[in-house]
Structure 1
Amino acid sequence: MNIRDFKEKLFSLGTENGFTDMEVYFNASNNFNVKIFKGEVDNYTVADESGLAFRGLYKGKMGYAFTEKVDETSLGILIEEAKGNAMIIEDEDEVEIFAGSEKYNDFEGYSKALDEFTPEKKIQFAKDLEKEAFALDSRVVAVNYCMMASGEGERIIINNKGLEKSAKDNLAYCYLSVVVKEGENIKTGAKFVASTNITDFHAKKIAEKAVKEAVSMLGAETVKSKNYPVIFRNDAANTMLETFSSIFSAENVQKDLSLLKGKLGKNIASEKITIIDDPLMENGFASTPFDAEGVATYKKEIVSQGKLNTFLHNLKTAKKDGTESTGNAYKASFKGSVGIAPSNMYISPGEKTYDQLVENVEEGIIITDLQGLHSGTNAVSGDFSLAAQGYLVQNGKIIRPVDQITIAGNFYELLNEIEDIADDLEFGLPSRGNFGSPSLRVKGIAVSG
């Protein structure tokens, strides 16, 4: 059944059953994934998912229900389940059905060019990616992960207060991980690329980066334990930002799960640091013109030259703080509840190159990879203790690879210790948002060898 015809019948039935404000949220996605092993297709998946969520005010409380069947048989079930949920919900916070923003940005997240990237071409690209990796260096003994994937989706949000918005998007992405061996020494290297631009998927260039990374770590040893100046390379830096991004959520601030409570308008980081959330970024993994509640999204500086400007809000947290939503309401799918998440969050790049950052280090460590991010971090306190690897720098030059080290510190303190920022902004693997950072030079961090 057409979504708009369905919502008319659903809203009519809802009104008959005592609902006032009502909303439907429809989400549909189509995902493609192929994995290659030794030149052959190892796994091939095409998955379609769609469904609709209904929520509405019943006797002053918000009720929720969802279905994967958008037809007449679901109408009564949705209404009854939403009524039942409304009666048992104990949350006293007032939840709002949003009438709509005054203005929405023109944003097109769907690339027609990707339609030309057919399944056959994606499979061939993945095969070429693996082939190039083996051809680049005789020390490549295995490609332990070679994946090409794509996805496209559509979201529609309609309510009985006049809001009706829809958006389509698509994206392709690949991931390559290689294993190199020299004597008894074995190392891995990986590269991830996501884009709406087909030309970004150049098999040889992507393979070169993964193989170069792996080979560069051969012969890695530990270092003497002490406090070192540290450069977090862009991929390690965006991992740190992602891990601690929840401190900027207004929901966590209100629940005392962030030490940024009471810090609005104050300096919380080095003046070199500007952190941006840009839901309208071209080619952004999490770009969208409206959020999960229908609020118009916009580019915002969460932190400007070290000063905290705003938290990320949905309608509920904004009402608690007497402010407006920042358009960061988030639902993982039509089945999910409304929370808060960044869109494309990143640290603004500087003007120096990565090499110039390295040249200014007399003795220090470049961190390229962090492990144990779930067990070794505390997003509330900001403390971290993480296994890491990278390179030793002396007199402005990379001397050798480093592994079997642990770095320890505090994220809030780290933000204030950043002395310089490179121009090499890069985004990593997305997870509940898309996170990016350039390389960051930090004054000093405790390193245990």
Structure 2
Amino acid sequence: MDMKNLVEKIFEEGNKQGIGDMEVYYSAGSSLSLKVFQKELDGYSLSESEGLGLRGMYNGKMGYSYSEKVDESSIDMLVKNVKENATVIDSDDEEYIYEGSKEYRRVDTFNPALDQVEETEKIRFVKSLEEEAFKIDKRIESVETCVYGDGYGETIMSNTKGLYLHDKSNIAYTYVVVVAKENDDIKTGMAYRTGNDFAKFDPKEIAEEAVREALSLLGGKTVKSGDYPVVIRNSAAADLLEAFTGIFSAESVQKNLSLLKGKLGEKIGSEKFTLVDDPYMEEGLASKSFDGEGVACMYKKVVDKGVLKTYLHNLKTAKKDGIETTGNASKGSYKASLGIAPSNFYVEKGEKTLDEMIASMNRGILITELQGLHAGLNSVSGDFSLAALGFEIKDGKISRPVEQITVAGNYFELLKNIEETGSDLKFGLPGEAYIGSPSLKIKKLAIAGE
């Protein structure tokens, strides 16, 4: 289907029906998931999606509609639904179609080489990943999960103000969860990789990381309850940031759902804490040139050395605050309404290695995993109480694994108590692959054990 031709016909019909400014948002994509269990392909999923959304101004209100049929037969329905939707909208929030930015920086997030990898090669890889995990140590009793997946996405945005933007990206990911057993003690370890370069996925390296994690946790015991200096390892710190990302959204601030309201220009964290939103990050899995409203994205420090510099805005929230948008409008698909989301969102790394941070502590806890993140915290108050796994630190060295502990605190206080940021910046799995953090050394947190 010639999209430009279809878009013109949609706009033509919309004009006839009395709709003013209009925007078409087209998205298409596919995803593949392969799962192996006991040397056999245990799960295979291939899905494709395609559709377009139309939004337009009718009688002073913005109406929305969408269709999974990307052809001329959907035009009448799309236009009719925009008009009907606009008449029932009761929000006073002003919305409008964006005419386009002066300049868009080119962002290359599609790797043609990934597109050329044969499915048989992907299956061979994920089987090899399971096989490698069993080879490493006889205490590995089973491989609980072994998955490879990839996918691509394409977006076209066009409006009646002359804007026409196109974006295409792809991603691959893999993860493995192994189970180690020694006597009656059973522990799991996980390792993952994300990116769009299949050649960088090394099954042996990934398996070794998962096995090392599981074995290191064997023999874990709790600790005495109390306040401890803590190092939160990079992956766990990224998980915690992901759970609190919403507090930096202007929408949350304007709805009184963020304690950062009224804190612009104020110190909200330690000087060691800088939080970046970088849409141009090389190999970033959320890199892009424009946001969900067609606004050119921009690099920004949301928090710079502890000082809150900006919230994340779309056009609607920016107009409410009388400022320019930060280019953070989000639109998950052609069906989705507009929201706010960061691009590659991460805590800027420091210079200390994880080992150096551990060496600087006489006594403390290294937290490697936080559990129950969305049930055990309140993103408005910042309070959290989470089950955790990790290691006890004595005399600057890891002394033993720790389990059956709960770590409690307040996220806003935690930011002020960051003493050091590590050099080991790491991003999460797909779904959270745009959130990253290095390991963080925290002055103290409450640990509940025995």
Quote the residue 1:257 is aligned against: 257
CA distance in 1, matches of 2:200, 2:382: 36
Correspondences of 1:7-406 after superposition (within 5 Å): 7-406=7-406
SS at match of 1:24: strand
Deviations 1:369-393 (A, max 9, x none): 0111111100001000000010000
CA distance in 1, matches of 2:159, 2:264: 33
Deviations 1:284-306 (A, max 9, x none): 12111111110111211000001
CA distance in 2, matches of 1:24, 1:46: 27
Query: When the two structures are aligned, how many residues end up with a matched partner?
Result: 449
Return the offset for 1:113. Answer: 2.1
Deviations 1:158-182 (A, max 9, x none): 0000110001101111011111100
Unmatched runs of 5 consecutive residues or more in structure 1:
none
Return the offset for 1:199. Answer: 3.0
Return the offset for 1:432. Answer: 6.4
Quote the residue 2:423 is aligned against: 423
CA distance in 2, matches of 1:436, 1:46: 28
Aligned residue identity for 1:144:
E
SS at match of 1:401: strand
Aligned residue identity for 2:246:
S
Return the offset for 1:433. Answer: 6.4
CA distance in 2, matches of 1:82, 1:239: 39
Work out whether residues 341 and 432 of structure 1, in 8 Å CA contact, stay in contact via their aligned partners in 2.
no
CA distance in 2, matches of 1:173, 1:295: 29
Unmatched runs of 5 consecutive residues or more in structure 2:
none
CA distance in 2, matches of 1:242, 1:376: 14
CA distance in 2, matches of 1:79, 1:96: 17
SS at match of 2:283: coil
Moved more, 430-439 or 152-161: 430-439
Return the offset for 1:107. Answer: 1.1
CA distance in 2, matches of 1:431, 1:195: 13
Return the offset for 1:53. Answer: 0.2
SS at match of 2:218: coil
Work out whether residues 342 and 432 of structure 1, in 8 Å CA contact, stay in contact via their aligned partners in 2.
no
Aligned residue identity for 2:311:
F
CA distance in 2, matches of 1:44, 1:31: 11
Work out whether residues 341 and 433 of structure 1, in 8 Å CA contact, stay in contact via their aligned partners in 2.
no
CA distance in 2, matches of 1:283, 1:135: 32
Work out whether residues 191 and 206 of structure 2, in 8 Å CA contact, stay in contact via their aligned partners in 1.
yes
SS at match of 1:19: coil
* Aligned residues: CA RMSD: 0.9
Return the offset for 1:425. Answer: 0.4
CA distance in 2, matches of 1:115, 1:433: 20
SS at match of 2:110: coil
Work out whether residues 277 and 343 of structure 2, in 8 Å CA contact, stay in contact via their aligned partners in 1.
yes
Aligned residue identity for 1:76:
D
Work out whether residues 63 and 84 of structure 2, in 8 Å CA contact, stay in contact via their aligned partners in 1.
yes
Return the offset for 1:431. Answer: 2.9
Deviations 1:261-297 (A, max 9, x none): 0111111000001100111112212111111110111
Going from structure 1 to structure 2, the CA distance change for 1:241 and 1:223 (only over 3 Å counts) comes to same
SS at match of 2:32: strand
SS at match of 2:384: strand
Moved more, 279-288 or 83-92: 279-288
SS at match of 1:20: coil
Work out whether residues 276 and 301 of structure 2, in 8 Å CA contact, stay in contact via their aligned partners in 1.
yes
Return the offset for 1:32. Answer: 1.1
Aligned residue identity for 1:259:
L
CA distance in 2, matches of 1:433, 1:299: 18
Return the offset for 1:116. Answer: 3.3
Deviations 1:152-206 (A, max 9, x none): 1110000000110001101111011111100000000101210122232000000
SS at match of 2:320: helix
Deviations 1:196-222 (A, max 9, x none): 222320000000000100000000000
Work out whether residues 274 and 305 of structure 1, in 8 Å CA contact, stay in contact via their aligned partners in 2.
yes
Deviations 1:394-416 (A, max 9, x none): 00000000010001100000000
CA distance in 2, matches of 1:434, 1:127: 27
Deviations 1:72-99 (A, max 9, x none): 2111100111111100011110101010
CA distance in 2, matches of 1:24, 1:245: 29
**TM-score normalised to structure 2 length:** 0.99
SS at match of 1:445: strand
CA distance in 1, matches of 2:283, 2:431: 16
CA distance in 2, matches of 1:433, 1:95: 30
Work out whether residues 228 and 445 of structure 2, in 8 Å CA contact, stay in contact via their aligned partners in 1.
yes
Return the offset for 1:106. Answer: 1.4
CA distance in 2, matches of 1:301, 1:119: 40
Quote the residue 2:407 is aligned against: 407
CA distance in 2, matches of 1:115, 1:202: 18
SS at match of 2:21: strand
